[in-house]
Amino acid sequence: MKHRWGWIAVGTLGLALCPSAAGDAALTGDVTLTVTIQSLSMTITGNPSWAIGAITPGTVVTQTNSQRAVVQNNGNVHERFTLQVTNAGGTWAVSGDATAGADEFVMGGVFGASGDSVTSGNFNESTGNEDVIQNVVTSSSATVFGSAGASANGASVAPTNSVGLWLQFKAPTSSSVSTQQSVTTTVGVEAA
């Protein structure tokens, strides 16, 4: 008796499986996600310093193509670069516009492709003083710290890509210190 009961049970199981196999009806489905944690990172890979030397009050000096810094996106997403004067040297002030004054200098910045040729004519060519670097963090755009004459800007730089950063310095019209001053411009990153 036990042997026959077992045979019937096997037969019933076989019938139950038949409709699924014949109709391809799935009873479950999978949704697979892929995710990468955003990483923002940059490195100044070329010309991190600029020694201007002695100049007369009010002089405007623009970095040459061989003096400009090179900024690389080392993150894994497109990046927008920001600029800020973070150290004015202790005595001087950072001008908020394109006019220098007593103990007050103007720092300008324009991003371009590393191989571009950027000159003083590429600065502040849009609405006004948009390429003046402030003492607060300011984001790049196609025009802010950018030039129509450049073939790249700092608004959206792909991972591993680099851009050049040309600085322009307008010396104070007069200075109460005659010793060498050190001014720092800081490049930051945002997700573009």
Taking the complex as a whole, the smallest distance from the CB of residue 96 to Ca ion amounts, in Å, to: 16
> Token pair for residue 128?
């006004």
| Closest residue to Ca ion: CB criterion | 131
Q: Closest separation between CB of residue 74 and Ca ion, Å? A: 25
Q: Which of residues 62, 106, 131, 140 is near Ca ion by CB under 5 A? A: 131
- Residue 41 contacts residue 189 (beta carbons within 8 Å): yes
Residue range at the interface with Ca ion (CB under 5 A); choices 15-23, 55-63, 118-126, 167-175 = 118-126
**How many chain residues are in contact with Ca ion, going by CB under 5 A?**
4
CA atoms of 136 and 153, how far apart (whole Å): 20
89 token code pair: 């040297």
**CA angle, 84 as apex, 186 and 182 as ends, to 5°?**
60
- Smallest CA-to-CA distance from 166 within 57, 60, 41, 59 is with 60
Contact of 136 with 185, CB cutoff 8 Å: no
The interface region with Ca ion, picked from 74-82, 124-132, 160-168, 181-189 by CB under 5 A, is 124-132
Q: Given the DSSP bridges, would you call strands 184-191 and 162-170 parallel, antiparallel or unpaired? A: unpaired
Which residue, 134 or 181, is less far from Ca ion as judged by CB? 134
Give the residue with the Cβ less far from Ca ion, 94 or 118. 118
Stretch that binds Ca ion, among 27-35, 62-70, 128-136, 173-181 (CB under 5 A): 128-136
Residues that bind Ca ion (CB under 5 A): 126, 130-131, 143
